[in-house]
Amino acid sequence: MYELLSTYRTELGYTVATIVFLFIMQFLLRKTAHRVGKRSEINITRTRLMFKYINILIVLIAVFLLSLAWGVGLTELSLVFSSVFAVLGVALFAIWSILSNITSGIILFFSFPYKIGDKIKIHDKESPIEAIIEDIKAFHLHLRTIDGELITYPNNLVLQKAVSLIEKDVYADEGKDSL
């Protein structure tokens, strides 16, 4: 055991330093996302979705840094990452709308001016929608019309269409009446 530790002392040191660094980065990123969520009054489920994205980013960085620490050369590492990204690129090109909706979901998390419970109108030429935002997911919004119909509206279309606020947080008014 002692021989193993002495042989790989440098690599183990880099591994421990990398793991500590990534835990600190993850903590800071999660704290920042939580602070943005609280300041913007974003629903906790949307904030947790950002936590998942942060975890994925940290894992990718960890794989890269730990590979370097354990002696994988840059040429081998670049070959593996370029191959993986080529396969992912082809796969994501085939399902580009999913990637577009995920990206739109991240943008909506940080800059969408409407909250769950707001009544909005989406100005679509063919079929305008007037509804209450029930939930904001990674791929789509859940909208409830006045008739009670549930509409799932893709996030990328929300960013492409004009959206206006009709009434601010209708659920909050219902909660005040019941108190």
Burial group, residue 7, by CB count within 10 angstroms (0-12, 13-18, 19+) = exposed
pLDDT of 176: 46
For residue 84, name the pLDDT band (cuts at 50, 70, 90).
Answer: confident
pLDDT of 179: 38
> Where along the chain do its domains lie?
2-94, 114-178
pLDDT of 92: 67
pLDDT of 171: 66
Per-residue exposure over 102-134, b if at least 16 CB sit within 10 Å of its own CB, e if not = bebbeebbeebebbbbbbbebeeeeeebebbbe
- Report which secondary-structure segment, H or E, holds 57: helix 44-69
pLDDT of 147: 92
Q: Spelled out in words, what is the top-level CATH class assigned to the domain 114-178?
A: mainly beta
Please determine, for residue 175, whether its predicted confidence score (pLDDT) is greater than 90.
Answer: no
Q: How many percent of the chain have pLDDT more than 90?
A: 26
* Tally of CB atoms within 10 A around 101: 20
pLDDT of 17: 93
Q: How many CA atoms lie within 13 A of 28 on its CB side?
A: 7
Q: In degrees rounded to 5, what are phi and psi of residue 142?
A: -100, 115
Mean pLDDT of 19-27: 94
Q: Average pLDDT, whole number, for the chain?
A: 84
Cβ neighbours of residue 27 closer than 8 Å, sequence gap 6 or more: none
pLDDT of 124: 87
For residue 105, name the pLDDT band (cuts at 50, 70, 90).
Answer: confident
Q: Are 165 and 122 in contact, with CB atoms under 8 Å apart?
A: no
pLDDT of 177: 45
- Report which secondary-structure segment, H or E, holds 153: strand 150-154
Which of 65-74, 84-93, 119-128 is the most confident on average? 119-128
Q: How many percent of the chain have pLDDT more than 70?
A: 93
Mean pLDDT of 116-143: 89
Please determine, for residue 165, whether its predicted confidence score (pLDDT) is greater than 70.
Answer: yes
